[in-house]
């Protein structure tokens, strides 16, 4: 039997080592995608490819997909085909994170000539060729360079032919290759620390301790599932889809004892456009949602996957068949946590929440100016749905965990100007608990710049829904300032002097807005989250500003509640 104290100590040390791995990756990365937005995941695996733990900053779509995808690496390269200094990679969507741009880099760790573990990371490459990230492609072959599992380093030497091939197929060769080397560096840092850890405790292998760490997570999640009443819980959601092609997502979550089956039968068939989701990515966000709803404190590893079975019909939008286009799969996959949490809200009311903005907004600005060609991936986030005991968070990436790209980075790395960036008043769904706010950004380009934008956006037609009497969040908008809406999920040329509104959706509200504490409504008005008009009409709280009309700074003491109209007709 493995010493339980040793298991606890090694588990804690692995968390620190994973933080070292991620810090090394982020600090050496070339692209803003990794360095600023943290579109990445880092993890450590035992010798068989079972995930022992992840870094703090990993996105569920990367980390959970990598956890199952690592088995493809170990199958393709058993120990006898590996040697110290080898590094493998792939971006095959059906084996890892479901998108050509997401590249997984895996490093086998050797101690005393024996394979003892793996470190791996998955990062969104700034470019991989093809049509850029959009939903325009008709098949995956149009979306970029697809790399099977192969060696990027052989015994410590870079595979020069592979690097040359990648450079020839991408628009940002320095950034793309630079990020790959950053991933290699992060893995090396983690591997070196792990080898020292094994030597410190006199361990020949990590597998026994790893097995106990995973078993503890499995047992904890099973105990949490056992407390949920057995039954089948269902939910349905609609997304913008592509053009006139609406997408319906349906789920049935069946809890039976210590196990749960998540079934997406009834969801739309796979699309002709690049919004399809591979089953590995569907499993990633579904398993994340189950753990988040049922027992979020359980350490995340392969053990926490074991009680969860995820299925979706072959050929559906959540289990697409090759060679379906998949570049914008996150615009569907990111809805799955809200879908599942909504299904389970009566089973686990303490962790319920309204629907969120969900899909991360990713805009790719590309063009040519006096300084030459440029291409920049910009991430922005909407509001989280209201929670059982708290308001939703404003402009927070849920479920992705990604960060919005800072204005300073945007204007430094491309000839773009961010004219305005503010929280979007009244975008959070009214409720006893208010939904999180979206944000409004107005983008322009410098003079003499020829430019275009790919707007990978959603929730412009279907807002985040409220629950238990809460109201919907505001839908988003992607269009010209003072002009027409722009077609989403495809490349759109922009005229010189044009400005683009990027208006992100808010999260849904929870509970009757008339039950919200008037003091909280007043605070929302003071902070600019809720307008005076919305306070009166939606919350039944009439707030008056008593300060100077011309004042640019308005203090909390300049507002007062005049009266409440709770229970009265609107």
Residue 237: Cβ within 10 Å count: 21
Buried b (16+ CB within 10 A) or exposed e, 459-496: bbebbbbbbbebbbbbbbbbbeeeeeebebbbeeebee
Which has the minimum average pLDDT: 155-169, 439-453, 486-500, 554-568? 554-568
Mean pLDDT, rounded, of the chain: 96
Q: How far apart are CA 229 and CA 329, in angstroms?
A: 33
Q: How far is CA 241 from CA 135, 210, 517, in A?
A: 10, 42, 38
- pTM, two decimals, is 0.95
Q: pLDDT (tens digit, 9 = 90+) per residue, 12-57?
A: 999 999 999 999 999 999 999 999 999 999 999 999 999 999 998 8
Q: Where are the domains of the chain?
A: 4-217, 353-516, 518-564
**Contact indicator for 506, 428 with CB cutoff of 8 Å:** yes
Pairing of strands 308-311, 259-263: parallel
**Contact indicator for 57, 38 with CB cutoff of 8 Å:** yes
Q: How far apart are CA 193 and CA 24, in angstroms?
A: 12
Confidence grade of residue 389 (pLDDT, cut at 50, 70, 90): very high
Q: How far apart are CA 444 and CA 356, in angstroms?
A: 28
Q: How far is CA 331 from CA 16, 134, 247, 453, in A?
A: 33, 10, 11, 17
Place of tokens 């943290």: 38
Span 100-119, mean pLDDT? 97
The encoded tokens of residue 561 equal: 């509640």
Q: In angstroms, how far apart are the furthest CA atoms of the chain?
A: 78
Q: pLDDT (tens digit, 9 = 90+) per residue, 357-369?
A: 999 999 999 999 9
Q: Which residue from 437, 408, 434, 439 is spatially nearest to 421, judged by alpha carbons?
A: 439
State the virtual CA torsion across 129, 275, 397, 94 in degrees, nearest 10: -70
Q: What percent of the chain has pLDDT over 70?
A: 99
More confidently predicted of 195 and 569: 195
The answer, yes or no, to whether residue 94 has pLDDT greater than 70, is: yes
Q: What percent of the chain has pLDDT over 90?
A: 95
Q: How far apart are CA 161 and CA 154, in angstroms?
A: 12
pLDDT at position 1 is 67
Residue 519: in which H helix or E strand, if any?
Answer: helix 518-527
Q: How far apart are CA 203 and CA 354, in angstroms?
A: 47
pLDDT at position 144 is 97
Q: How far apart are CA 518 and CA 521, in angstroms?
A: 5
pLDDT at position 132 is 86
For the chain, report the end-to-end CA distance as a whole number of angstroms. 67
Q: Which residues contact 191 (CB under 8 A, 6 or more apart)?
A: 107, 109, 117, 119
Pairing of strands 439-445, 541-545: unpaired
**Contact indicator for 69, 118 with CB cutoff of 8 Å:** no
Q: pLDDT (tens digit, 9 = 90+) per residue, 322-343?
A: 999 999 999 999 999 999 999 9
Q: Which residues contact 148 (CB under 8 A, 6 or more apart)?
A: 90, 92
Span 530-558, mean pLDDT? 94
The answer, yes or no, to whether residue 570 has pLDDT greater than 50, is: no
Burial of 553 (0-12, 13-18, 19+ CB in 10 A): exposed
Report CA 114 to chain centroid distance, whole Å.
Answer: 36
pLDDT at position 57 is 82
Q: What is the DSSP string of 72-132?
A: HHHHHS-GGG--TT-EEEE--TTTTTSSTTEEEEEEEEEETTEEEEEEEEEEE-S--STT-
């Amino acid at each position: 039997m493995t010493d339980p104290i040793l298991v606890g100590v090694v588990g804690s040390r692995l968390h620190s080592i994973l933080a070292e791995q991620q810090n090394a990756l982020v600090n050496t990365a070339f692209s803003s995608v990794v360095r600023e937005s943290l579109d990445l995941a880092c993890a450590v695996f035992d010798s068989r490819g079972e995930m022992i733990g992840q870094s703090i900053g990993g996105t569920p779509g990367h980390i959970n997909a990598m956890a199952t995808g690592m088995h493809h690496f170990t199958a393709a390269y058993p120990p006898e085909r590996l040697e110290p200094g080898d590094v493998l990679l792939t971006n095959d969507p059906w084996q890892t994170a479901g998108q050509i741009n997401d590249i997984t880099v895996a490093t086998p760790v050797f101690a005393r000539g024996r394979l003892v573990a793996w470190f791996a990371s998955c990062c969104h490459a700034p470019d991989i060729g093809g049509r850029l990230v959009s939903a325009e492609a008709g098949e995956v072959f149009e979306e970029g360079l697809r790399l099977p599992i192969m060696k990027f380093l052989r015994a410590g030497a870079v595979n020069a032919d592979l690097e040359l091939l990648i450079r020839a197929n991408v628009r940002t060769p320095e950034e793309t290759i630079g990020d790959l080397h950053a991933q290699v560096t992060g893995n090396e840092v983690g591997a070196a620390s792990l080898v020292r850890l094994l030597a410190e405790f006199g361990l020949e292998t990590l597998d026994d301790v790893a097995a106990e760490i995973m078993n503890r997570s499995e047992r904890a999640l099973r105990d949490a599932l056992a407390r949920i009443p057995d039954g089948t819980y269902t939910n349905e959601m609609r997304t913008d889809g592509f053009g006139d092609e609406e997408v319906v997502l349906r789920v049935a979550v069946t809890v039976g004892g210590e196990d749960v089956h998540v079934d997406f039968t009834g969801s739309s068939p796979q699309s002709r456009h690049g919004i399809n989701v591979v089953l590995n990515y569907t499993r990633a966000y579904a398993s994340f949602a189950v753990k988040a709803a049922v027992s979020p404190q359980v350490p995340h590893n392969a053990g926490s996957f074991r009680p969860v079975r995820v299925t979706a019909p072959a050929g559906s939008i959540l289990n697409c068949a090759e060679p379906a286009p998949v570049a914008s799969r996150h615009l569907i996959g990111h809805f799955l946590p809200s879908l599942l949490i909504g299904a389970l809200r009566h089973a686990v009311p303490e962790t319920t929440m309204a629907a969120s903005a969900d899909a991360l907004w990713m805009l790719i600005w590309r063009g040519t100016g006096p300084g030459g060609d440029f291409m920049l991936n910009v991430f922005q986030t909407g509001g989280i749905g209201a929670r059982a005991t708290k308001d939703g968070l404003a402009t927070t990436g849920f479920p992705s965990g990604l960060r919005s790209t800072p204005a300073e980075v945007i204007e430094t790395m491309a000839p773009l100007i961010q004219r305005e960036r503010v929280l979007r008043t009244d975008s959070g769904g009214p409720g006893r608990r208010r939904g999180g706010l979206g944000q409004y950004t107005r983008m322009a380009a410098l003079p003499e710049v020829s430019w275009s934008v790919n707007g990978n956006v959603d929730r412009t037609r279907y807002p985040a829904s409220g629950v238990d009497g809460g109201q919907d969040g505001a839908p988003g908008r992607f269009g010209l300032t003072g002009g027409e809406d722009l077609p989403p999920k495809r490349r759109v040329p922009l005229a010189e002097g044009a400005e683009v509104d990027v208006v992100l959706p808010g999260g849904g509200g929870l509970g009757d807005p008339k039950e919200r504490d008037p003091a909280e409504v007043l605070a929302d008005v003071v902070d600019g989250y809720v307008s005076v008009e919305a306070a009166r009409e939606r919350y039944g709280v009439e707030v008056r500003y008593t300060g100077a009309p011309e004042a640019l700074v308005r203090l909390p003491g300049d507002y007062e509640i005049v009266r409440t109209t709770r229970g009265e007709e609107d």
